[in-house]
C-alpha cells in the first residue's frame, strides 16, 4: 500500500454562492480573519504529512498562484523593518510543501476537475480536499482519513451526518452499518430528501486511489449537468470496496455566507491576540 503524500485541491469553480465578491476575487482567497481560506486547507495537508499538493485553478485565479509564490520585494521590506514575525508568516509554509498548479480548461464539474490531477497522482493514492469545507479538528480531518485508509487499503470518503433538509446539497452514502468506518453500498449526488439513502454526507475530504481516473474518463454528466465525482466513485465501488469514515471535528460550509460568518467568528474567538476584543464586540451588539 502506498503512503499518502500527495493532495489535490480543486479551486477552479465560479463561487456563485458568493457573488458579487467572487466576480473578480477567487472565493478561495476570501480571508477567514486574515488568512485566505485555501491557506487553511494547505496547512491541514502539511499537518497531515502531505509533501506535494496540486491546486486545480481556472482563468481568473492567478491570485491563488501568487499567494503560494515568494514575494521578494515584500520579504526584503519586512526584513528591513525587522518585522520577523510577519516575515516568517509569509515564508515558512512554502518551505514545508511543494505546490503545483494546473488549469481546468472547462468548468464542467468536480469529476472533471479531479481528472486534471491524473498525471500528478501517477500510481499513488492521493488526498482530495474541497475548499468550501473547512474542518477544525484536534487531528486534521485529512489525517483522520489517511489513518482510515491505512487500515482498509481502499478509498475512503469523509462523511458527516446532516439534517434531512440539507441532504440535497451533498453526495450521500448508504453504508453497510453505522460504524465510524463503514463499507459504502451506494452513493447518490444531491438526492431529494425522500430519495436519500441516509443522512451521511460527503464532506469535502477524500482519499482516492488512481483507479478513479478510469471511471472519471468515461463519466457522463450527472446532477446539475456536471461530471460528478460521486457518480464515478459509485461506479468504482461496484468493482472494489470503498469506505466512508465519519470525521470528528467541526465543519464549516464556507461556500455559504452564513457558514463563512460562523467560521470567521469561531476563528476570531480562538485567537489569543483578538478574542477578548471580538467577544466584547459580540456582547455589546447582543445588548442592543
Going through the chain in order, the beta strands assigned E by DSSP cover 6-10, 31-32, 35-36, 52-57, 98-103, 126-129, 133-136, 156-161, 171-175, 181-189, 200-208, 243-246, 250-253
Residue from 175, 203, 219, 244 touching ligand G1P (CB under 6 A): that is 203
Q: Which is nearer to ligand G1P, 22 or 228 (CB)?
A: 228
Read off the C-alpha cell for 143: 489525517
User: Should residue 230 be labelled a site residue for ligand G1P when binding is judged by CB under 6 A?
Assistant: yes
- Looking at residues 35 to 74 of the shown chain, list those that interact with ligand G1P (rule: CB under 6 A): none
Number of residues in contact with ligand G1P under rule CB under 6 A? 14
Sign, CA torsion 258/226/236/196: positive
* CB closer to ligand G1P out of 210 and 259: 259
Q: Among 12, 50, 57, 110, which residue interacts with ligand G1P (rule: CB under 6 A)?
A: 110
CB contact at 8 A, 282 and 51:
no
Output the smallest distance, CB 238 to ligand G1P, in A: 18
Coil, helix or strand at residue 89: helix
The window from 79-87, 98-106, 142-150, 224-232 that contacts ligand G1P (CB under 6 A) reads 224-232
Cell of 8: 489535490
Asked if residue 32 lies in contact with residue 270, where contact means CB atoms within 8 angstroms, the answer is no
Cβ-based neighbours of 96, under 8 Å, separated by 6 or more: 46
C-alpha cell at 18: 458568493
Stretch that binds ligand G1P, among 55-63, 74-82, 223-231, 260-268 (CB under 6 A): 223-231
Q: Pick from 7, 11, 48, 130 the residue near ligand G1P by CB under 6 A.
A: 130
Does the protein bind ligand G1P through residue 129 (CB under 6 A)? no
Q: Decide if residue 219 touches ligand G1P (CB under 6 A).
A: no
Q: Which of 43, 21, 6, 1 is nearest to 267 (CA)?
A: 43
133 near ligand G1P (CB under 6 A): yes
Minimum CB–partner distance for residue 228 and ligand G1P (Å): 6
Q: Which of 18, 68, 149, 170 binds ligand G1P (CB under 6 A)?
A: 170
Q: Give the residue closest to ligand G1P by C-beta.
A: 171
**182 interacts with ligand G1P by CB under 6 A:** no
Among positions 28, 189, 231, 246, the unique one binding ligand G1P when judged by CB under 6 A: 189
3-state class of 279 per DSSP?
Answer: helix
CB 284 within 8 A of CB 276: no
| Least Cβ distance, residue 59 to ligand G1P (angstroms) | 19
Say whether residue 202 binds ligand G1P (CB under 6 A): yes
Q: What is the DSSP letter of 186?
A: E
| Residue 132 near ligand G1P by CB under 6 A | yes
Encode 205-270 in three state secondary structure: EEEECCCHHHHHHCCCECHHHCECHHHHHHHHHHHCCCEEEECCCEEEECCCHHHHHHHHHHHHHC
Q: Does 204 bind ligand G1P (CB under 6 A)?
A: yes
Positions touching ligand G1P (CB under 6 A) are 110, 130, 132-133, 170-171, 189, 201-204, 228-230
Amino acid at each position: 500500500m502506498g503512503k499518502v503524500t500527495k493532495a489535490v485541491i480543486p479551486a477552479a469553480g465560479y463561487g456563485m454562492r458568493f457573488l458579487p465578491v467572487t466576480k473578480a476575487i477567487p472565493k478561495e482567497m476570501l480571508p477567514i480573519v486574515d488568512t485566505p481560506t485555501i491557506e487553511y486547507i494547505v496547512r491541514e495537508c502539511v499537518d497531515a504529512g502531505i509533501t506535494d499538493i496540486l491546486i486545480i485553478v481556472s482563468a481568473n485565479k492567478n491570485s491563488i498562484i501568487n499567494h503560494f509564490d515568494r514575494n521578494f520585494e515584500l520579504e526584503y521590506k519586512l526584513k528591513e523593518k525587522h518585522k520577523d514575525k510577519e516575515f516568517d508568516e509569509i515564508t515558512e509554509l512554502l518551505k514545508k510543501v511543494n505546490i503545483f498548479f494546473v488549469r481546468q480548461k472547462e468548468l464542467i464539474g468536480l469529476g472533471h476537475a479531479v481528472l486534471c490531477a491524473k498525471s500528478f497522482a501517477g500510481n499513488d493514492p492521493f488526498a482530495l480536499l474541497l475548499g468550501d469545507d473547512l474542518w477544525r479538528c484536534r487531528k486534521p480531518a485529512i489525517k483522520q482519513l489517511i489513518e482510515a485508509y491505512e487500515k482498509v487499503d481502499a478509498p475512503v470518503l469523509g462523511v458527516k451526518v446532516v439534517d434531512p433538509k440539507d441532504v440535497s446539497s451533498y453526495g450521500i452514502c448508504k453504508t453497510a452499518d453505522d460504524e465510524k468506518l463503514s463499507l459504502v453500498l451506494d452513493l447518490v449526488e444531491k438526492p431529494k430528501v425522500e430519495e436519500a439513502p441516509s443522512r451521511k454526507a460527503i464532506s469535502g475530504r477524500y482519499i482516492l486511489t488512481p483507479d478513479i481516473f478510469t471511471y472519471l474518463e468515461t463519466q457522463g454528466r450527472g446532477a446539475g449537468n456536471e461530471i460528478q465525482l460521486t457518480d464515478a466513485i459509485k461506479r468504482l465501488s461496484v468493482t472494489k470496496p470503498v469506505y466512508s469514515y465519519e470525521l470528528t471535528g467541526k465543519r464549516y460550509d464556507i461556500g455559504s455566507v452564513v457558514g463563512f460568518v460562523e467560521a470567521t467568528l469561531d476563528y476570531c474567538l480562538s485567537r489569543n491576540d483578538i478574542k477578548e476584543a471580538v467577544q466584547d464586540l459580540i456582547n455589546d451588539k447582543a445588548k442592543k
